[in-house]
Amino acid sequence: MRTSILLADDDLDDTELFSEAVHEVDPTVLFYSAADGSEALSSLQSSEIENPNIIFLDINMPAVNGWECLKALKNDDRLSNIPVIIYSTSSAQRDKQMATDLGATYFLTKPEKYEELKKFLRHVLNNVGTPHKIPEYQK
Amino acid sequence: MQRDSSELIKTSDVRLRAIMDATPECIKIVAPDGSLTFMNQAGLIMVEAPSFTKIEGASIFDVIAPDYRAHWIEHHDRICKGESLNWQFEIIGLGGTRRFMETHAVPLPNGDGTFSQLAVTRDITQRKLAEDALKRNEFLLKAQNRALELTMHDGELLHVLHVITSAIEQHATHRIFASILMIDKEGNYFSEGSAPEVPRTIWEKSASEKVEVVVPDIEYAPLPVDFKNNVLARGLKACWFAPIVSTQSISLATFAIFYTQPQHPTAEDRRAIELLSHTAGIIIEWFREVKERRQAEGALQASDQHLRALIRASSNVIYRMSPDWLEMRTLDGQNFMEDTGRPIRDWLSKYIHPTDQSRVLEGIRKAIDTKSVFQLEHQVLQVDGSVGWVFSRAIPILNEHHEIVEWYGTASDITERKQTEEALRVAKDEAEKRKRLYETITGSTPDLIYVFDLQYRFTYANDALLKMWSSTWEKSIGKGLLENGYEPWHAEMHEREIDQVVATQKPIRGEVSFPHATLGRRIYDYIFVPVLDNHGNVEAVAGTTRYITDLKITEKALKESEAKFRRFYESNMLPIAFWNLNGKVYECNDAFADLVGYTQQEIIDGHYNWMNGTVPEYIHLHHENVKKAVAGKMFIEPYEIELLRPDGNRIHVLAGYALLEGSKENGVAFLTDITIQKSLMTALELRVAERTKELNEANFALKQSNEDLLQFAHVASHDLKEPVRKIKTFAYRLEGELSDANDKAKSYIDKILSSASRMAAMIEGVLSYSTINASAEMSGEVDLNTLLQDIQSDLEVVVEHKQATITSVDLPAIQGSRFLLYQLFLNLINNALKFSRSDALPRINIDGNVTEKAGKKYLHLTIEDNGIGFEQANAERIFDTFSRLNPKDKFEGTGLGLALCKKIVQRHNGTITAFGEKDKGAKFAIELPMEVYHTVL
């Protein structure tokens, strides 16, 4: 079965970069993207797509932001088991703590270097079956 | 405390009164002027008063028999000066009864420095009478013995009779004259004694008919005029003739007794005559017989018989003993003791009571040695086996060689007298018992009563004193002052006073403050008096102490407060008025009158009252507060009203009042004119309100601007971060794409990247700086040692690269935010590494110690390096935001690092100071409280 990833981010540059990096790491990955939190939630809850293996959430999004989206996911029995990685420009401790508190699996500050993003995605895809190993990622 | 003590006194008073009324002795308290302030039931009976109220306040002096009065008053005065005295006197009760009294009187402090007399007085009339009777009886017996002795030793008859008549005269309680009138066998008349000549016709009837003749009032008696004139001229008003008869009832003579007052013979005189007329009869008979016999035969035998007869008449027992007393020849016991007709040797055990045998033998030995009369009072065994008392006398009969040939003895039964004596002894014991009862009374008074011996030890302490010590008799008696808990100065003082009392034999008094075991410190008035022994020496010192604190304090306090109030009232500093519940003011000071706008007279005349003098809308406050006062509220909280003056002006005042103590109607009121305060207050309030509004507005604006700024900083930095990141991301990608680009193109890309990096760092700095206050929990416990370890491991690469050494001492844990403190140390260590010198390997030393000031602990930290340092002049500037000391091309930095450090330290209520020396190194000194005391910047 093919691994699937959903990214919710309103920044199209970042979405494009992310998609490119994912496919360079593993061309077989099914990559879904949503422009904000509400779009992500509606496509997941309407079973438009099958439950992805991992969800990446930007924080700063219009309408439903990353935090709201994360809460909704964790409150939905069918979706609460999907590992969520916060994917944001922020590197603030406060945001990292918030992520942990709301049940995110990992907090990734958007890397400046493309290679770093790829390196992280490789780590994530290697541990799709064992999401608890994702936090072990070291720069 | 006052309540307690008055309770105590009340219960003790009731108990004391019960005991006092139950005691058979008179207990009285006499004021210094002699007026009676207290007397118990027994006392009332003695003075024959129906009730205490009948004699309360009356002078006690009137009851004292006139012949004792002056003496009594003198004693009373001495007691009121503090002496304790015992004496005897006679009283004449209101019913006229004369009583002999014995009194024990002590000074009783009145609390004002004066003393009353507290006396326990016994009626000793009966004892006195018994004693007198005994004395007189003794006297007569002695005379009798003397007369008999004279008779036996060949004394002259007239001499012997003189002994008898003078004994009768001396024995009498009043002046009497006694004679024995006699007519001898030859018919010659003669008399012996001090009584005047009496015509035979008057006394012969008595002699011949052996009857008494009594002339109770000579003046009116049918007697010869010459005789009457004669005796009346000598001041004699009554006479009495009693016959003297022989054992054979032959009339021998007559006693003549003359009195100086018209009267019948007294009982005492009758007794004396009765006893001695018998003796006189025997003696006269003896002389007649001896004279006759001697003249006729001179026979001793007869004389012996007569002597026996003579003696038998006056004695109960006659005995004859061998010269050495080993043998009793005869004993005639006359139904008192068993006779013995033949000589016996066991007389001692037969007749003498075992307890007195040795005494008897001792007396005998002495008598034999000195050949003198043996005489002794001792106990004997009576014929009926009971124990009796005798007065035994034995005369040695001497021969011509002056050797004892025999002892001739008589013994009189004195059992009765001994019993009287015993009764007296019992009476005296009873008196002792009374004394103990008196002690019981002292034990129940609230006053302190005690006795010291000369070694300052307590030998007596009454219950009140023991209670004050909170001790017991066993624990306290025999102990000194110190041991009984007196403070050293106090014990010393009393010891010196005891010395003084002993030396001067005079009482001493004083006042002292002393802590009571349960009632606290009190003031006492005390007096020490000497107790004298039989020889007039002081054998002990007795004291009484009365508690006077209440009186003193209340009096003093009352006086002071009255004076204070009076001064206050008259000074007119404050308007004061006395009012009643109707609202009428019945007294006020000028200040009050001025304030309410009436004259004193108008106020007192009733023109002013609360209601018409108060603005109507405030009158309800009066009603409410008066209600509270009447309901028992002691003080009414002052309240604001407006006075309505007759001139129409209104004045703001603060009214306060209270009911007078013990009154339900009258009170005292105080007014305070607060018009000025009121207007000032209004102005002030207005100003304050304005200022507050201004401040609030300014505050709000400031807060708004602060928030806006923070918001801006946060938003700006956050929103700025993304494009910068993207610039970098895509610059890196471009670099990758242009792998074969020329150097010039590559250098341009580097410049884009480095600029973007610096911008990113600055944005990060602004973000941290602007969120310090909002972020981070401050109450955590931060272990600085592990925090430094974490930083070192995070900086491992740089440290290794720069070959730096970081040393630190053991640091304590402090309260604060780990996140912020991490940033603080990270920045400082980073700085030290960054600004290292090229010519020296970086060395960073972290030191710390804890100090305490104003009860708070502080951690002093220093972070010192050997880097490039800075000019000390810049030491403060380096903490400003975006300040830089070095060119940015040489040292990377945002200009926010130290500003951030300062802000973090401030956030922890600490201080940070920089010390630098150019090209030598920098030192940062940080002082952080070990515990954060929350303040918000």
Judge whether B508 and B452 are in contact, CB under 8 Å.
Answer: no
Lowest mean pLDDT among B43-47, B185-189, B431-435, B467-471: B431-435
> How high is the pLDDT of residue B936?
38
HSE value, Cβ hemisphere, 13 Å, CA-based, for B736: 9
Q: In chain A, how long is the greatest CA-to-CA distance?
A: 37
Q: Which two three-digit tokens encode residue B523? A: 């003031």
How much is the pLDDT for B8? 45
Average pLDDT over residues B80-86: 85
The stretch B161-165 carries a mean pLDDT of 88
Average pLDDT on B804-822 reads 89
Q: A113, B771: Cβ pair inside 8 Å?
A: no
pLDDT of B119 over the 80 cut: yes
Contacts of B643 (CB under 8 A, 6+ apart): B595, B596, B597, B613, B614, B615, B650, B651, B653, B671
Q: Are B157 and B283 in contact (CB under 8 A)?
A: yes
Q: In chain B, what residues touch A110 (CB-CB under 8 Å)?
A: 725
**Is residue A20 less than 8 Å (CB to CB) from chain B?**
no
Q: What is the mean pLDDT of residues B186-195?
A: 77
Distance from CA of A121 to the nearest CA of B (A): 16
CATH topology for the B776-929 domain? Heat Shock Protein 90 (3.30.565)
Q: What is the mean pLDDT of residues B820-831?
A: 89
Residues from chain B contacting residue A113 (CB–CB below 8 Å): 729, 732
Contacts of A60 in chain B (CB under 8 A): 718
CB contact under 8 A, A91 and B728: no
- Give the span between the Cα atoms of B593 and B603, in whole angstroms: 7
Instruction: Tokens for B11, please give them.
Output: 């219960």
* Mean pLDDT estimate for chain A: 90
Cβ-defined contact of B725 to A92 (cutoff 8 Å): no
Give me the pLDDT at residue B521, please. 67
Look at residue B295 in the predicted model and tell me its pLDDT. Answer: 54
- Of the pLDDT bands very low, low, confident and very high (cuts 50, 70, 90), residue B77 is very high
Q: CA–CA separation, B257 vs B212, rounded Å? A: 11
Q: Yes or no: say if B513 and B521 are a contact pair by the CB < 8 Å rule.
A: yes
Q: Say how far apart CA B607 and CA B824 lie, in whole Å.
A: 82
Query: Given a cut of 70, is residue B17 above it in pLDDT?
Result: no
Q: Provide CATH code, domain B320-409.
A: 3.30.450.20
Mean pLDDT across chain B: 80
Asked which of A39-53, B260-274, B628-642, B728-742 is least confident by mean pLDDT, the reply is: B628-642
Q: Is the ipTM of this complex over 0.90?
A: no
Helix, strand, coil proportions of chain B in percent (round to 5)? 45, 25, 30
* Residue in chain B nearest A109 by alpha carbon: B725
What span, in angstroms and rounded, lies between the C-alpha atoms of A82 and A104?
10
pLDDT band at B703 (very low <50, low <70, confident <90, very high): confident
Q: How many residues does chain B have?
A: 937
B601-630: average pLDDT: 83
Q: Cβ contacts (< 8 Å) between A11 and chain B: which residues? A: 722
The answer, yes or no, to whether residue B248 has pLDDT greater than 70, is no
Lowest mean pLDDT among A104-113, B302-311, B324-333, B637-646: B302-311
Q: What is the pLDDT of residue B758?
A: 78
In this predicted model, which residue has the larger pLDDT, B432 or B8?
Answer: B432
In angstroms, the separation between the Cα of residue B810 and the nearest Cα of chain A is 28
Instruction: Give pLDDT tens digits for B748-796.
Output: 888 888 888 878 877 877 777 777 666 556 778 889 999 999 888 888 8
Which of these ranges, B145-154, B218-227, B457-466, has the smallest mean pLDDT? B145-154
DSSP output for B48-61? T-S-HHHHTT-BGG
Which positions in chain B have a beta carbon within 8 angstroms of at least one beta carbon in chain A?
718, 721-722, 725-726, 728-729, 732-733, 736, 760, 764, 767, 771, 775, 819
| Residue showing tokens 């009072």 | B377
The pLDDT, as a whole number, for residue B102 is 85
Residue with the bigger pLDDT between B738 and B9: it is B738
CA B347 vs CA B360, B386, B393, B412: distances in Å: 12, 17, 16, 17
Report the alpha-carbon distance of residue B748 to residue B731 in Å, rounded.
10
Q: Is A138 on the interface with B (CB under 8 A)?
A: no
**Per-residue b/e over B526-564, b at no fewer than 16 CB within 10 Å?**
bbbbbbeeeeeebebbbbbbbbbbbebeeeeeeeeeeee
Q: How far is B841 from chain A (nearest CA, A)?
A: 29
> What pLDDT is attached to residue B75?
92
Say which residues have a Cβ less than 8 Å from residue B402's Cβ, sequence separation at least 6. Answer: B371
Lowest mean pLDDT among B270-274, B347-351, B359-363, B629-633: B629-633
Looking up tokens 């009860």 gives B855
Check if the beta carbon of residue B43 is closer than 8 Å to that of residue B27.
Answer: yes
Interface residue of B714, B724, B726, B757 to substitute, partner A, most A CBs within 10 Å = B726
Q: Are B718 and A110 in contact (CB < 8 Å)? A: no
Task: Say whether B721 and A89 touch across the interface (CB within 8 A).
Answer: yes
Is the pLDDT at B298 greater than 50? The verdict is: no
B376 neighbors B392 (Cβ within 8 angstroms) = yes
| Cβ of residue A17 closer than 8 Å to a chain B Cβ | yes
- For range B336-357, the mean pLDDT: 85
- Residue A26 C-alpha, separation from nearest chain B C-alpha, in angstroms: 20
Residues B401-450 pLDDT 10s: 778 888 888 887 888 777 777 777 776 676 566 556 556 556 556 678 88
Q: Which domains does chain A have, with CATH numbers?
A: 4-136 (3.40.50.2300)
pLDDT confidence bin for B154, thresholds 50/70/90: low
pLDDT of residue B926: 94
Q: Using CB atoms, which residue from A13, A60, A91 is nearest to B726? A: A13
Identify the residue among B722, B764, B822 best suited for mutation to test binding to A, counting A beta carbons within 10 A and taking the highest: B722
| B395 has a pLDDT exceeding 60 | yes
Nearest by CB to residue B725, choosing from A89, A92, A94, is: A89
Chain B CB within 8 Å of residue A139 CB: no
Query: Is B641 within 8 Å of B631 (Cβ atoms)?
Result: no
- The residue among B714 and B222 whose pLDDT is bigger is B222
pLDDT at position B443 is 57
Average pLDDT estimate for A45-58: 89
Which residues of A are less than 8 Å from B733 in CB distance?
Answer: 114
- Banded pLDDT at B609 (limits 50, 70, 90): confident
- CB of A93 less than 8 A from some CB of B: yes
Task: Please enumerate, as own/partner, the contacts of B43-51 that have beta carbons within 8 Å and a separation of 24 or more.
Answer: B43/B121, B46/B91, B46/B93, B46/B99, B46/B101, B46/B121, B46/B123, B47/B91, B47/B93, B47/B94, B48/B93, B48/B94, B48/B95, B48/B96, B48/B97, B49/B94
* Contact residues on chain B for A114, CB-CB shorter than 8 A: 729, 732-733, 736
Cβ <8 Å between A89 and B718: yes
Q: Are B36 and B26 in contact (CB under 8 A)?
A: no
Closest residue to A112, CB basis, from B728, B771, B775: B728
Give me the pLDDT at residue B844, please.
94
Q: What is the mean pLDDT of residues B499-524?
A: 78
Q: Spell out the domain ranges in chain B.
A: 133-300, 320-409, 572-673, 776-929
Choose among B124, B112, B107: nearest CA to B30: B107
Enumerate the H helices of B371-477 as residue ranges. Answer: 415-444, 463-469, 473-476
Which architecture does CATH list for B133-300? 2-Layer Sandwich (3.30)
Of the candidates B732, B764, B819, the beta carbon closest to that of A112 is on B732
Pick from A11-20, B198-207, B648-657 the range whose average pLDDT is largest. Answer: A11-20
Cα–Cα dist B338/B359, whole Å: 21
- Which chain A residue lies closest to B753 (C-alpha atoms)? A112
User: What is the average per-residue pLDDT within B851-880?
Assistant: 87
pLDDT at position B300 = 47
Whether B472 shows a pLDDT value over 70: the answer reads yes
Give me the mean pLDDT over the B328-337 stretch. Answer: 80
Mark yes or no for CB contact B729/A114 under 8 Å.
yes
Range ranked top by mean pLDDT from B378-382, B434-438, B672-676: B378-382
Residue B873 above 80 pLDDT? yes
Answer whether residue B296 shows pLDDT above 80: no
Count Cβ–Cβ pairs < 8 Å, chain A vs chain B: 30
* Mean pLDDT to the nearest integer, B811-831: 88
Mean pLDDT score, B897-921: 88
Work out the pLDDT band at B662, boundaries 50, 70, 90.
low
Question: Which of B722, B733, B775 is opposite residue A89, by nearest beta carbon?
Answer: B722
Q: Topology of B572-673 in CATH?
A: Beta-Lactamase (3.30.450)
Q: Determine whether the interchain pair B767/A92 forms a contact, defined as Cβ–Cβ distance below 8 Å.
A: yes
The CA distance from A17 to the nearest CA of chain B, in Å, is: 10
pLDDT band at A25 (very low <50, low <70, confident <90, very high): very high
CATH fold match for the domains B320-409 and B572-673: yes
Helix (H, G, I), strand (E, B) or coil at B193: strand
Is it the case that residue A46 has pLDDT exceeding 50?
yes
Q: How many CB atoms lie within 10 A of CB B227?
A: 18
Which site among A58, A95, A110, A112 would you substitute to test the B interface, given the most B Cβ atoms closer than 10 Å to its Cβ? A112
CA distances from B418 to B379, B386, B392, B422, B547 (A): 10, 14, 14, 6, 50
- Closest to B138 (Cα-Cα) out of B311, B391, B460: B391
Instruction: Print the SS3 string covering B290-333.
Output: HHHHHHHCCCHHHHHHHHHHHHHHHCCEEEEECCCCCCEEEEEC
In angstroms, what separates the C-alpha of A116 from chain B's closest C-alpha?
10
Sorting pLDDT into bands at 50, 70 and 90, what band is B155?
Answer: confident
